[in-house]
């Protein structure tokens, strides 16, 4: 595995692979890798000739008072995991390389899809995501890029950007990877105290309860949301940011549960904000 910190050298490597007729997969990450990330890498390895993983904790997608400084980092551990997965190139640039002092250009998606859920509770977050992802696409020149379904809204916004700006690549969705007890894998899980970790299991329980309600014939979104709220609020350490039940294709509002439905939530346990989601076909 080759390590690139320099943007120009990463681009040169990618161009050389293209000249040789090799397809390139990109797995964008912020590091502190877990099995969820490695599932993306495995799928990329299966589908493409060359696999690039980027590790960059992107400062412009963090808001004031969020956890940019505390975000877990361990490049040595991450590198060892990626070596085992036969990754071809690791791109790990510095902040000044990605955002030099004169940097003033941003990529931002607009529309209903960006305004709700995490878009409303984390202003500017998705502007930071689309800017860094567009830069990574230009630097690593992938044919396919791999994103996890856990960040469902982010995934849909990146797909919108790729579609509307005609990026010559395909976005591949990879299912959520969970711990044995159901908690969605996240680098932020390490923040949780043992008590918070135990209570965080309510996220998946609430999602599965909502799925069961729909399968049993409940279609009223307000009723389903209320039952989820009651279940989560029974946990003393949980503070709900949002519970959203929307069209899974474009996040548009639903009057009742019909078609492909995304049930998504964000809940804080202490200082740790966790997200999770589930898609139900009605």
Annotated catalytic sites, by residue? Answer: 37
Distance of CA 21 to the CA centre of its chain: 30
Per DSSP, the three-state class of 28 is strand
Tokens at residue 183, please?
């908690």
Quick check: 169 and 134 in contact, CB under 8 A? no
The helix (run of H) or strand (run of E) holding residue 51 is: strand 50-55
Tell me the C-alpha to C-alpha distance, in Å, between residue 8 and each of 24, 78, 228: 17, 23, 49
Question: Quick check: 143 and 23 in contact, CB under 8 A?
Answer: yes
How far is Cα 180 from Cα 105, in angstroms, rounded to an integer? 42
H or E element at residue 82: helix 75-84
> How much helix, strand and coil, in percent to the nearest 5, is found in the chain?
45, 20, 35
Count the neighbouring beta carbons within 10 Å of the beta carbon of residue 73. 14
Backbone dihedral region of 86: left (phi > 0), alpha (psi from -120 to 50 degrees) or beta?
Answer: left
């Amino acid at each position: 595995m080759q390590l690139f910190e320099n943007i120009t050298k990463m681009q040169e490597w990618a161009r050389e692979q293209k000249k040789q007729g090799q397809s390139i997969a990109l797995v964008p990450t912020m590091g502190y890798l877990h099995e969820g990330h490695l599932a993306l890498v495995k799928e990329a390895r299966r589908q493409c000739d060359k696999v690039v993983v980027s590790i960059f904790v992107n400062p412009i997608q963090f808001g004031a008072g969020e956890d940019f400084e505390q975000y877990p980092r361990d490049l040595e551990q991450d590198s060892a995991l990626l070596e085992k997965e036969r990754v071809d190139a690791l791109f790990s640039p510095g902040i000044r390389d990605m955002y030099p002092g004169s940097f003033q250009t941003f990529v931002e998606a607009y529309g209903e899809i960006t305004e709700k859920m995490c878009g409303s509770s984390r202003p500017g977050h998705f502007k930071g995501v689309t800017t860094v992802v567009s830069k990574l696409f230009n630097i690593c020149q992938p044919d396919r890029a791999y994103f996890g379904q856990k960040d469902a809204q982010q995934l849909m916004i990146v797909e919108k950007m790729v579609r509307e700006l005609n990026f010559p690549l395909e976005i591949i969705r990879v299912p959520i990877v969970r711990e044995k007890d159901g908690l969605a894998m996240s680098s932020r899980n390490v923040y949780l105290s043992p008590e918070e970790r135990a209570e965080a299991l309510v996220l998946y329980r609430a999602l599965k309860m909502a799925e069961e309600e729909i399968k049993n014939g409940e279609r009223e979104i307000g009723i389903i949301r209320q039952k989820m709220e009651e279940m989560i609020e029974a946990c003393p350490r949980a503070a709900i940011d949002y519970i959203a039940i929307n069209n899974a294709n474009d996040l548009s509002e639903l009057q009742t549960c019909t078609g492909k439905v995304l049930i998504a939530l964000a809940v804080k346990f202490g200082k740790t904000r966790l997200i999770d989601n589930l898609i139900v076909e009605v």
